[in-house]
Structure 1
Amino acid sequence: MTNPLDHRTRIKICGLTREQDVDAAVAAGADAVGFVQYDKSPRYVSAQRAGELARRLPPFVTPVLLFVNAGVDAVQAACNEVPAAMLQFHGDETVQECIDAARGRPYMRAARIPLDGAGFDLVKFATDYSHAQAILVDAHVEGYGGGGKAFDWSLLPTSVDSHLVLSGGLTPANVTDGIVQVRPRCRTLAVDVSSGVEASKGIKDAAKINQFVAAVRAADALLARSTNALLSAT
């Protein structure tokens, strides 16, 4: 499914609440940063606050607004504060609800995968939400969000005709393995981290962010070497 010559994994740092954390994510080389618009989350920021933080971003770093079962008016109000935002729907939103709320904006739809991988048809889910720019695969735990837990990546389907974003329990210690396991199963792969680079809930650790980015790049280099070796043998 994946292009063997494209081994650059895109990185999103989610749950940002402070200016210094936005700056640290940008300095480390993140492609996107996420602002949680779900008021039951410890990483929640208001739409106005998200707008203030997003205005620190340089060109080509994408702000992402994360919603959980929000109404169309709430989504649009947040988009007015962050005009360049991509959207992420992380609740129980139907296909039509996503389309109505996005109003033509690019969006990701979260797929909440059971920790043992059982009983969830990711291929069907990706087909149903084919209007989404990507499907974010996260662990299904109580509440919304992965709760810092990883599901069993090896149980994902071997071929998903979609761009995937791997999330849920990622850390600098395990993200390389996650990328190596999941990348061959989809069109392209990105990664999304929140608690794995935190000092405490909603407070990021710049050193952990840098370690995470370095681990992602190590996975990219490993896959590139493997591809080059395969091509040399043919």
Structure 2
Amino acid sequence: MKVKICGIRDKQTANISVKAGADALGFVFAESKRQISISKAKEIIASLPKEVLKIGVFVNETKDNLVEIFEEVGLTHVQLHGDESPEFCNSLDLPVIKAISIKSQEDVKKIEKYDCEYILVDSPYGKYRGGNGTTFDWHLLLNQEFQNNRLILAGGLTIENVQEAGVLVNPYMVDVSSGVETEGVKDMNKIELFIRKVKLGGANNDNLYTSR
């Protein structure tokens, strides 16, 4: 599985995440405690390797603003966490990740309506659209056909549960934010251990973790 570390706000965290093996980094432009400015995101992204996905997170943003920020910052994808319709997503000449909150089987059925490069499945909304640190019932995703969409699993993933989630859901990528934080701040040791848990099965890696 691939790994996305979301809620990046500084160059040190970005670079350590990449060095640890992160395949994608997320930058939150929507209202959030992890919101980042366009100028800061641009500065961080300029320092990153080309192969790393740079994903901007938005909620009900206008098409013009999405295009402008995508080009200005140097994003590779836009992740849409709002009420964006399939038609709106299709109208964008950009690589789109559509986030869908999962509460029931009816929500799972919404996935087939979207023809996006990736579908991100997340927990029900809390204060913000995403990044709330809660899981959902992963069993709702079993035995589903997703029209070859690459599935990204988010919502309450941690060092302790990511392996279980990976076995049960078998997503293309897992997405973590609060699960690698200590007191609301990205924890470098947690990031390293989370990535190793995903990539290497967690063998002989417990010594990496020291709470900060």
Q: TM-score of the superposition, structure 1-length normalised? A: 0.80
- Give, in whole Å, the separation in 1 of the partners of 2:200 and 2:137: 21
Say whether the 8 Å CA contact 2:97–2:117 is kept in structure 1: yes
Q: Does residue 108 of structure 1 match 2:97?
A: yes
Match of residue 77, structure 1, among 53, 68, 72: 68
Q: Which amino acid aligns with 2:195?
A: V
Q: Does residue 61 of structure 1 match 2:52?
A: yes
Deviations 1:178-216 (A, max 9, x none): 000001xxxx52100000011233x31110001101110
How much has 1:155 moved relative to structure 2?
Answer: 2.4
Q: Which has the larger radius of gyration?
A: 1
- Give, in whole Å, the separation in 2 of the partners of 1:194 and 1:120: 26
Q: Which amino acid aligns with 1:140?
A: P
Match of residue 178, structure 1, among 141, 144, 165: 165
Match of residue 87, structure 1, among 78, 94, 113: 78
DSSP-derived class of the 1:66 partner: strand
DSSP-derived class of the 1:75 partner: helix
Q: Report matched runs for 1:26-175 at 5 Å.
A: 26-38=18-30, 40-100=31-91, 102-103=92-93, 105-114=94-103, 118-122=104-108, 124-130=109-115, 132-142=116-126, 143-161=128-146, 162-175=149-162
Percent sequence identity is 38
Matched with 1:23 is: 15
How much has 1:141 moved relative to structure 2?
Answer: 2.7
How much has 1:220 moved relative to structure 2?
Answer: 9.5
- Give, in whole Å, the separation in 2 of the partners of 1:146 and 1:33: 14
CA RMSD of aligned residues (A): 1.8
Q: Which runs of 5+ in 1 are unaligned?
A: 1-8, 222-234
Q: Which runs of 5+ in 2 are unaligned?
A: 204-212
Q: Specify which structure has the bigger relative contact order, considering alpha-carbon pairs within 8 angstroms and separated by 6 or more residues.
A: 1
Q: Which amino acid aligns with 2:144?
A: S
How much has 1:95 moved relative to structure 2?
Answer: 1.1
Deviations 1:79-119 (A, max 9, x none): 1222342110011111122233x32x2111001012xxx24
Say whether the 8 Å CA contact 1:47–1:78 is kept in structure 2: yes
DSSP-derived class of the 1:211 partner: helix
Q: Does residue 11 of structure 1 match 2:3?
A: yes
How much has 1:152 moved relative to structure 2?
Answer: 1.3
- Give, in whole Å, the separation in 2 of the partners of 1:47 and 1:30: 22
Q: Report matched runs for 1:175-214 at 5 Å.
A: 175-183=162-170, 189-201=172-184, 203-214=185-196
